[in-house]
Amino acid sequence: MANEPQIQQDDEVMLLNMGPQHPATHGVLRLVLALDGEVIRECTPVIGYLHSGFEKTYESKKYQQCVTLTDRMDYLNPLGNNLAFALAVEKLLGVEAPPRAQVIRVLLAELTRIQSHLVGLGSNGLDLGASSPIMYAFRDREMLLDIFEMVSGQRMMTSYIRPGGLAKDIPPGFEEAVQRFIDYFPEKLDEYHGLLTRNPIWMDRMVGVGKLTAEQCLELGVTGPMLRAAGIPRDLRKDMPYSGYESYDFQVVTRTESDCYARYLVRMDEMRESLKIVQQALNRIPDGPYVLDDFKHAYPPRQLISDQMEALIHHFKLATEGYRVPPGEVYSAIESPRGELGFYIVADGSGKPYRVHVRTPSFTNLQCLPVMAKGGFIADLVNMIAAIDPIMGDVDR
């Protein structure tokens, strides 16, 4: 059968279901394990328990409405999803967001990356039995959620980055709040390092666990921190830069051991690099418009609507019909905290996309779980899932 391990049944093998509801599977992931005692002979992931029909729903919504849906796919990277969609639509329109919007986009995308890695770090600890890291991680994450709430009114599903620029301008107090976080966070990272990195129990459970060779990673199409922990310095922010990333000074963090410990260290160091980018972005936010001047494709600022007749008419047309995107297709990808997140959009000249496919990193990265888990223990399986850091909304869409 399709969703059972393809293994010869004998007396030694027990089939165990690590069901969709499980505290350590990072959401609704089902694993069917063929066990020989504690050792895993085969591991078959069964996904689809969070399939929400995103791609079909996109086809029935205007481009502006699609932005709110994109938040909910990889729900720990909402601004990143918005950014990927906005970049794809802007390529179809043949426009580029104004400089102020681009810098703020980079700033918020990196803060989202830090927030996502914090949850990954905390969940990793919780899965292994450590209940303090998640408490500390969520405490720091709350500061970031306050910043997101300040710009968009929403803690998580912000829908703030839209095709053409941003939803609205950053409020006063934003830059101070971000600077406060930048000053506060490095010593917290050192605190996490002090708590975990040389901790004998942490190292015992993570060093040497879940090894994948670089060739295996490349063949399986793995991207993101997992690939960088195998020694391959591939990062779309450096390789195919978008939104001005080529002008920021940051390193691509790599390790060579390609085990769970290396992946943990890669994520920790990536948070530090992201903080550097946030500081650089904060220092160079230029003045200017936050959204395109061309109101045929981007909503006019709210203040103008009550002053100018054209702005009012544009807003009405955009809200009822949506902006028309000329026919064409595009595939545009960004580096999300999990890897390559790409949007393939086919436009047919109307106000709704014809076909949207989202190439999500967790879907592809999860394919390496059966390869990693073979021959390991269940306790290590939990660790491996945490190191892949899948988000089931990303996997199932």
Partner 1 sequence: MAASEGLLQAVAEAIGDGLLATDEDRAGAPILVVERGSLLKVCRLLRDGEWGFTHLSGVWGVDYLAMGLEPRFAVVYYLYSPSLRSRVAVKVPLEESDPVVPSVVEIFPTANWHERETFDMFGIRFEGHPNLARILMPDDATIHPLRKDVPLGGEEVEFTHNAERIRRQRAAESPEVSRN
Partner 2 sequence: MGVEEKLPGSLQVIVTKLANWGRQGAIYPLTSGLACCAIEMMSASMGRYDIARFGSEAFRATPRQSDLLIVSGRVSMKMAPVLRRLYDQMPDPKWVIAMGDCASSGGVFNNYAILQGVDRIIPVDIYIPGCPPRPEMLLQALQTLKMKILHEGDIHGRI
Q: Are 43 and 37 in contact (CB under 8 A)?
A: no
Name which position in 33, 222, 345, 392 contacts partner 2 (CB under 8 A): 392
Contact partner at residue 139 from partner 2, partner 1, none, CB < 5 to 8 Å by partner kind: partner 2
The interface region with partner 2, picked from 44-52, 300-308, 328-336, 360-368 by CB under 8 A, is 44-52
2 binds partner 1 (CB under 8 A): yes
What is the DSSP secondary-structure string of 60-121?
TS-HHHHHHHHTTTSTT-HHHHHHHHHHHHHHHHT----HHHHHHHHHHHHHHHHHHHHHHH
29 binds partner 2 (CB under 8 A): no
Q: Where are the beta strands (DSSP E) in the chain?
A: 14-18, 30-36, 39-46, 161-162, 165-166, 328-336, 339-347, 353-359
76 binds partner 2 (CB under 8 A): yes
Contact partner at residue 135 from partner 1, partner 2, none, CB < 5 to 8 Å by partner kind: partner 2
Binding mask 3-22 for partner 2 (x = CB under 8 A): ----------------xxxx
Contact partner at residue 193 from partner 2, partner 1, none, CB < 5 to 8 Å by partner kind: none
199 binds partner 2 (CB under 8 A): no
69 binds partner 2 (CB under 8 A): yes
Burial of 12 (0-12, 13-18, 19+ CB in 10 A): exposed
Q: What does the block give as tokens for 173?
A: 């107090």
Name the amino acid, one letter, at 125: G
Instruction: Select 136 or 344, whichever has its Cβ closest to partner 1.
Output: 344
Please state the φ and ψ torsions of residue 129, each to the nearest 5 degrees.
105, 0
92 binds partner 1 (CB under 8 A): yes
Q: What does the block give as tokens for 255?
A: 């390790």
Region of residue 295 (left: phi > 0; alpha: psi -120 to 50; beta: else): alpha
Contact partner at residue 330 from partner 2, partner 1, none, CB < 5 to 8 Å by partner kind: partner 1
Q: What does the block give as tokens for 71?
A: 């938040």
Contact partner at residue 342 from partner 2, partner 1, none, CB < 5 to 8 Å by partner kind: partner 1
Q: Residues touching partner 2: how many (CB under 8 A)?
A: 34
Q: What gap in Å lies between CA 175 and CA 281, rounded to an integer? A: 10
329 binds partner 1 (CB under 8 A): yes
48 binds partner 2 (CB under 8 A): yes
Contact partner at residue 211 from partner 2, partner 1, none, CB < 5 to 8 Å by partner kind: none
Region of residue 316 (left: phi > 0; alpha: psi -120 to 50; beta: else): alpha
56 binds partner 2 (CB under 8 A): yes
- DSSP letter (8 states) at residue 194: I
Instruction: Select 289 or 328, whichever has its Cβ closest to partner 1.
Output: 328
Q: Applying CB under 8 A, which residues contact partner 1?
A: 2-3, 6, 47-48, 51, 53, 55-57, 60, 91-92, 94, 218-222, 234, 239-240, 328-333, 340, 342, 344, 346, 348, 354-355, 357, 359, 363-364, 366-367, 396-397
